[in-house]
Structure 1
Amino acid sequence: MSADKMTVGFKNIYYALMQDDVRGGATTYGTPKRFAGAMQATLNQNPSSQTVYVDDVPVATVTSVGVLEMELGVDNITKEAAAELFAYRIDDNGVLLEATRGKSPYIALGFESESIDGGKLMNWIYKGKLTVPSQEFQTKGESVEIKSQSVTAQFVNRLSDGERKVSVHSNDEGINAEVILDWFEKVYVPVLTGGTTPTV
Structure 2
Amino acid sequence: MAIKGLDMLHYAIIESEDSTSTTYGEVKEFGPAMALNLQPTINRGNLRADDKVLFSDSSKGPITVEVNTAYLEKTVEADVLGKEADANGGISDAASDNPPYIAIGGRAKSARGGYEYFWVYRVKLAPAEENKQTEQDTPTYQTPNLSGEGLPRLDDGLEKYKLWDQDPDVSDTSIIDEWFTEVIDKNWAPTV
Normalised TM-score (structure 1)? 0.88
Among 157, 179, 187, which residue is 2:175 paired with? 179
Among 93, 97, 100, which residue is 1:98 paired with? 93
Among 39, 46, 54, which residue is 1:59 paired with? 54
Over residues 160-187 of structure 1, what are the superposed CA-to-partner deviations in whole Å (9 max), with x where a residue is unaligned?
0111111111111211211122111100
Unaligned runs of 5+ in 1: none
Q: Quote the residue 1:46 is aligned against.
A: 41
Please report how far the alpha carbon of residue 87 of structure 1 lies from its aligned counterpart in structure 2 after TM superposition: 2.1
Q: How is 1:147-158 mapped onto 2 (pairs within 5 angstroms)?
A: 147-158=142-153
Q: Quote the residue 1:191 is aligned against.
A: 187
Checking the alignment, whether the CA contact within 8 Å between 1:133 and 1:150 is kept in structure 2 is: yes
Identity of aligned residues (%): 26
Q: Quote the residue 1:162 is aligned against.
A: 157
For residue 80 of structure 1, give the secondary structure of its aligned residue in structure 2.
helix
Unaligned runs of 5+ in 2: none
Question: Structure 2 CA distance, aligned partners of 1:18 and 1:90?
Answer: 20
Question: Structure 2 CA distance, aligned partners of 1:68 and 1:124?
Answer: 13
Among 67, 78, 81, which residue is 1:72 paired with? 67
Question: Structure 1 CA distance, aligned partners of 2:186 and 2:80?
Answer: 25
What is the root-mean-square deviation of aligned Cα atoms in Å? 1.6
Which is worse superposed, 55-64 or 105-114?
A: 55-64
Q: Quote the residue 1:35 is aligned against.
A: 30
Q: Quote the residue 1:131 is aligned against.
A: 126
Aligned residues: 188
Please report how far the alpha carbon of residue 56 of structure 1 lies from its aligned counterpart in structure 2 after TM superposition: 1.9
Which is worse superposed, 112-121 or 91-100?
A: 91-100
